[in-house]
Structures are given as structure tokens and as C-alpha cells.
Structure 1
Amino acid sequence: MRELTGLYPRSGAGLLPLLLIPPVLLVLQLLVVARLWVEERDGAVAFTIISIEPERSSTGQAGGAPSRRSGWEEEEEVRDGELMRDVEQAYEDENEMQERQVGPRVMDVQLWAVNKPSFPAELSRIITYITRPQLKCSKVLPPGKAQAVLPPMTSARWLLCAEDWLLPAAHRPCIAYSFSMDGGDADFLSTVSGLGCEIHRFDPSTSSASVGHLGNSLANNHGNTGVVSQHKLWLEWRAPKGRRHRMSGSQGGVSHTLADIMAALGHHTVHFLYADLLSAEWRVFQNWIEVGILQNIHHLVATVHLHWAGFEVGGSNEEVLRYWFSVLRGLEACGLHLVHSSSGEGHSVLKHTLESAHSSYTLTWANIQH
């Protein structure tokens, strides 16, 4: 034990060297940091200083003095900000593509009409919904006319709401699209032509080849009002993975989503859209709801078909009717309010012959949220 006691200091003076070690190490670290900072200013190395000091008030430091940052700290923040903008830009296209594939919203599936599957209840609900206008217009545009008239015109196949706040201003561009393969859009084309719209008609069939036909290209008519640009294209409701918006004039497949078409033609807004999609309308409408494109459509004239479920729509009759109703309510949630409804020929609904319903209806909506 006597030998061991000699190893320990007999007084407090022996502790002084031990107490000096931490300050010496701190001084060395500060010298290294200062050297790196000098090298960084000379372009030798770039790094970001992470402060471990207590956070100070944004209004001032201790004693009330206003806080100020050194120039090199501001330069580091600027450099970091530029880096983050570059990263965000790199991911922007990918995020946009993902949004177009999955959609910024999910279409809500409505509850059963009577809390359980019932064909009569579901049918009654949907027929009531599509035959009762939701928007009363003091002026309307009938088929083939470009001058507003007073309602009612119950025999018209469709009626555009001609309220001033719903129509494009005279000095602003007017864009109109028509998707039809049976020539039933002639009156619509006449009306939007009289309004001075730039018109694009889409038809994938070979029978529509005519003067000005553009094949399967997407090319603008450079704002020529009243001129109909023909496109051998059709609407798709599936956004192919890995595909970006096609640029103006690009060649490609015969089917495109509405978002692709508008982007390719350089259109942010379509003021008037006519669609007779031959039972593909339900999936197309669902796509429009989910990708959020309907906020850019001001007037929609579309024929809905009820004689069968439609392309890629499955389930029992009750489930199909509930799906159709969910799609219609989704359109309403996006701002489309029913202006006019007219029934087509036939009385077959999902292969059931019913005198109280028709096989198709042509519906006219106006977007009150644009």
C-alpha cells in the first residue's frame, strides 16, 4: 500500500495538468475548424457547419442585441437552398407522373341506396339523379345555335348554360374538344364554331378521313377560330407507366388520356367538351375525377349508356348501378352541375327492359367552380 500511495498527488496542485487537458483539446479543435474554413474560402473544400449552440431568439441575442449571421453562414445557406431546389426539380417530373397514375384523389364509392343491394332502389336513385337538373340557367345555347335563347327547350338533345359568368370572354381564347365516331357532334361543332372557338375533333375510325386530317398526331391549329382540326385519336382512361406528357405534334398510339391530349396541344382549359364514348365513359369519367382534370373543363356534354355495364366495369347489377352513381357524384364533387338531360332510344338497363328508364341519356353539365 505504501508503494501505491506514491502514485497519487498529495495536494490539489497535482490536479492542475488534468484540468488543463479539455481546454487544450478544445483549442486544437477550433484551430482545425478555422483551417478548414480558410481552405473552404479558397475553394479547397466545401462543407456545412452544424451549430450546437443553444437556439437564440429571432428578435435578438442575450442582452437584447439584434442577431446577425456571419457572411459565410449565409453563403452556406444559399448554397444549400440551391441544392435543395435542384433535388426538388429532379423529382418534380417523377412526382407528376406518379400523380397522374394514381390521381390526387380517390373517387368515393357511395353507400347503398337502402343500406343493402337492391336493383330497384339503385336504379331509381340513378335515374332520378340524371333527370333532375341541378343548375337553373336564365339563358341557354341550343344545338347548332351560337345565340342564347330563353329556356325551357325540353326537346333539345343538349343545352349549354349561357350565363355570362360561365362563357369565355369575347377577348379570351375559346377551346372546344369533340370525341365522337358517329357524326352526332355536328350541331355541337356548329355551335362552338359560331362562338369563335378553336376546335379539335377526335375520331380513331378511318371513315372520318377528311380535309385537314392529321393522322394520329397531336398538332395545334394555331388558334384559328372556327377551324376544326381532325385527329385520328381516342380517349384512354389508363395512364401508361413511365410515359410523360407528349409534346405538341408528337406521333404515338391511337389512344391518349385527356391530360396527355391537353398537354400536347398546349391547352390548360377546355371550355366546351363533347363526348359520346360508346360505353367507355364510366372509366374515362373516373380517370378525370381521380387525376383532377375536371377543374379545367367548363362545359361537358356527354352521353351515358346504361344498356350494359361498360368497358372494364364488372360486378352484380346492383354494384354496377352503385358504381355509376358514384361516378356521377364524383363529377358533381369536381364542380360539374347538371344543366340539361335528354333520353335516348330504347328501354334496356343492364339487359332489363324497363319502361321507366332509357338505354342512354345525353347530359349537359356546367362547372360552377372554374
Structure 2
Amino acid sequence: MWTKPPIAHVQHTVCVCTVPQTKSPASRLLPPGRGKGRAAVKWWQLGGRYPIHTHYECTHGSIPIYTVSVLQTVRWHIDLQPWASPTPTLNGEALRFLKYIGTSQISCEHMNVEDLADNSETARNLVHQIKSKQCRLYSLGLGSDDNQFEISLANSGCEVHRFDPSIKSAHIQEGQRLWYHRLSIDWREPNPAIAAHKLHRNTKKLGTILSEFGHQKIDVLKADMESAEWKILENLILEDIVDQIGQLVFEIHIHWPGFEVSGNDSTVVRYWYSLLKELELKDFRLFHTHKDLSKPQMLLRKEVFNASSCYTLSWVNTRWK
């Protein structure tokens, strides 16, 4: 059996909040009824890339009950925030960005996974979902050996899926609740012309994986994508995948712009800031920031602003149950 050796690891935190639940459009269309199999919902899309018509059909057996057509607007770019100052400068953009990621937006009890315990105030939070065996964690990484956070959640009752393109087998299961998948998450689908290449065959967007796995939500998404995080986060926002996520634990790297992020230094930092503001507009709130002092202390290759090159940002979806 394939196993990974124990190593030193960084403790991660989860947020304990009481927030209302949101439902997918399909679930809202299901009529009330008794027993299982009362109705089925299927959907399909028509039209070109912009806009998209999505149709939901609710049926009882083979008998159609009703069909709803929804016109969806596809976003291609995020909305950039105004410049931090009338004259764009790295100093202005960097100070605004660093202040933003260093300021918690919500007062949230957070705890290490090892400390999870009963709490009468947390009937709708992650602790309750773990104990009810209804929690799902997706962990995105690129060859990282630190999997103690995932193992701890799996041992606590959470369904854990770790995506790592470096493993030898397509899928590996350890215990009852921990799976490893030889898949890499990208912000775009692979080019069909070169999809036969092994690397591209194992590369997919997160939305595609959710659909293939039959998963409608992720309670916790943990990602350490080694500078691909900015474009992946942009894809999750533009395709509304973040609406299906309860908590985000993202490691960001700011020693260089990141993959396919272009522009001068002030433009790059403005883009980073705008991405995080998009999360805020999606009702995500920053509840914990870890500044990694073991990494080079720099921002865009400059030792300035007392900045680390690596931070872990933890966000909670305040509309999540």
C-alpha cells in the first residue's frame, strides 16, 4: 500500500460560524414531496459562449412537470478596483493590498482541527458537519508532502479529496474517507489538440472535476498551487464556482506576479487586490491570515514593506451552511 511518511507541517485553522444556507438553482426547483425519488431535475445549455441559456426540467418519472429557462451572463474578466491613489504607484498599491490581507473582516472562532470539540453554538458550522459525516474537503497541491491537515479532517469524519499530479496511480484510497487523485487543477481546459499528452490529460478545471465527481459543494477548499493560485481563483470567481465553497484556505505567493499575470508592478498588485475584493463581493470574509516568516521576505522581487513572499489566507462564505 502506498503511504506518505510523516513530516513537519503547518497547522491550519477552520472557521466556526453560524451562517444561512444557499441552495443551487436545481434544488430550488424541486417540488415538496414525500419519500425519495419524488422528482428529478436535469439541465442543459443552449446558445453560444455569451450569453448562455440554461434550462431546468423537473420530471416525475418520465412525465415532465415544468421547465424553467434561465439566461446566464458569462463573465470573461474581473472588475478592477480603482487605483489606490490618483497617480498609480507600487507604494500605494502594495500598502493597500498588504493592509487588506492583514485585516480580519469577521470575528470568527477558529480552531485547529485537533481541537474540534462539542459546542452547542455551532449547530450549522463545520464542526457539526464533520460529526454528521457531511463535510467535504478538496485539497489542491503540487507535490507537497504536508498532508497532516487532510489526514486530521479525514480522521474526524470529513470526506477528503487530495489532488496531486505527482502520485503514481490515478486514484488511491487511504482508509474510509481519504482519497488521492492524480489530477492537477487549472484555470482553463486543456487544448484538445494536445490533450493526449499525459500532463494535459490530468489537468482540469475545478468546475469540471465537481461535475465529473457528482459533487455540488465543497465545505473547505485548501490550495497551495505555487503561483498558479491567482488565475485559478479568477476562474472560480468568473464561473461562480466559489458559490459552491464554504471556506477557502489559499496560500498566495507575491514574490513574482504569478502564472499569466502581466503588467508593471503597480498593475499586478492592483489585480491581486481586485481578485480578493471580488471574493468579498461574493460574501466571503477573511477570518485568518498567516504570514510565513520562513520564506523570503519580499514583494515582486523587492525587499520592501516588511512583506513576506508567502501568506495563507482563510476565508469563510457567510452565506454558507
TM-score normalised per structure 2: 0.69
Q: Please name the residue that 2:116 is paired with.
A: 147
Q: Does 1:338 align with 2:276?
A: no
**TM-superposed deviation, 1:333:** 1.3
Q: 1:91 to 1:228 in 2, by over 3 A?
A: closer
CA distance in 1, matches of 2:291, 2:99: 13
Residue 151 of structure 2 is aligned to residue 190 of structure 1: yes
Specify which of 141, 145, 165 is matched with residue 180 of structure 1. Answer: 141
Gaps of 5+ in 1: 1-88, 151-161, 243-251
2:181 counterpart residue number: 231
Candidates 293, 305, 314, aligned match of 2:241: 293
Aligned twin of 1:202 = 163
Residue 310 (structure 1) aligned with residue 280 (structure 2): no
Whether 2:95 is the aligned partner of 1:124: answer yes
The 2-side partners of 1:202 and 1:183 are apart by: 10
Gaps of 5+ in 2: 1-41, 55-71, 193-199
Residues 312, 105 of structure 1: alpha-carbon distance in 2 compared, 3 angstrom cutoff: closer
* Stretch of structure 1 that moved more, 127-136 or 186-195: 186-195
Q: Which of the two has greater helix per residue?
A: 1
Change (3 A) 1:333 1:280: same
Per-residue CA deviation, residues 3-33 of structure 1 (Å, 9 max, x unaligned), is: xxxxxxxxxxxxxxxxxxxxxxxxxxxxxxx
Task: Verify the 8 A CA contact 1:112 1:122 in the aligned structure 2.
Answer: yes
Q: How far apart in 2 are the matches of 1:293 and 1:364?
A: 17
| One-letter code aligned to 1:317 | D
Residues 198, 225 of structure 1: 8 Å contact kept = no
Q: 2:67 — aligned with what? A: none
User: Is it true that 1:254 corresponds to 2:202 in the alignment?
Assistant: yes
Q: Quick one: which of 112, 124, 143 aligns to 1:165? A: 124
Q: How does 1:343-354 map to 2 (within 5 A)?
A: 343-344=291-292, 345-354=295-304
- Residue pairs, 1:49-68, within 5 angstroms: none
Looking at structure 2, the residues matched to 281 and 113 of structure 1 have their Cα atoms a distance apart, in angstroms, of 23
Shift of the alpha carbon at 1:227? 2.4
In the TM superposition, residue 214 of structure 1 has moved relative to its aligned partner by 2.4
2:11 maps to none
The DSSP-based 3-state class of the residue aligned with 2:134 is coil
- What is the alpha-carbon root mean square deviation over aligned residues? 3.3
Q: How far apart, in 2, do the equivalents of 1:179 and 1:347 lie?
A: 24
Relative contact order higher in (CA < 8 Å, ≥ 6 apart)? 2
- Higher gyration radius (CA): 1
Structure 1 Cα separation of the partners of residues 287 and 305 of structure 2 = 24
Secondary structure at the counterpart of residue 162 of structure 2:
strand
**Distance 1:278-1:90 versus aligned 2 partners, 3 A rule:** closer
Q: Secondary structure at the match of 1:349?
A: coil
CA spacing shift, 1:91–1:227, aligned 2, 3 Å: closer
Q: Which residue of 2 aligns with 1:92?
A: 45
Q: Distance in 2 between matches of 1:172 and 1:351?
A: 44
CA distance in 1, matches of 2:102, 2:122: 21
Which is richer in strand?
Answer: 2
**In 1, Cα distance between the equivalents of 2:268 and 2:233?**
15
State, as a whole percentage, how many aligned pairs show the same letter.
Answer: 31
* 1: CA distance, partners of 2:134 / 2:48: 30
Query: 1:53 — aligned with what?
Result: none
| Alpha-carbon distance, 1:346 to partner | 1.6
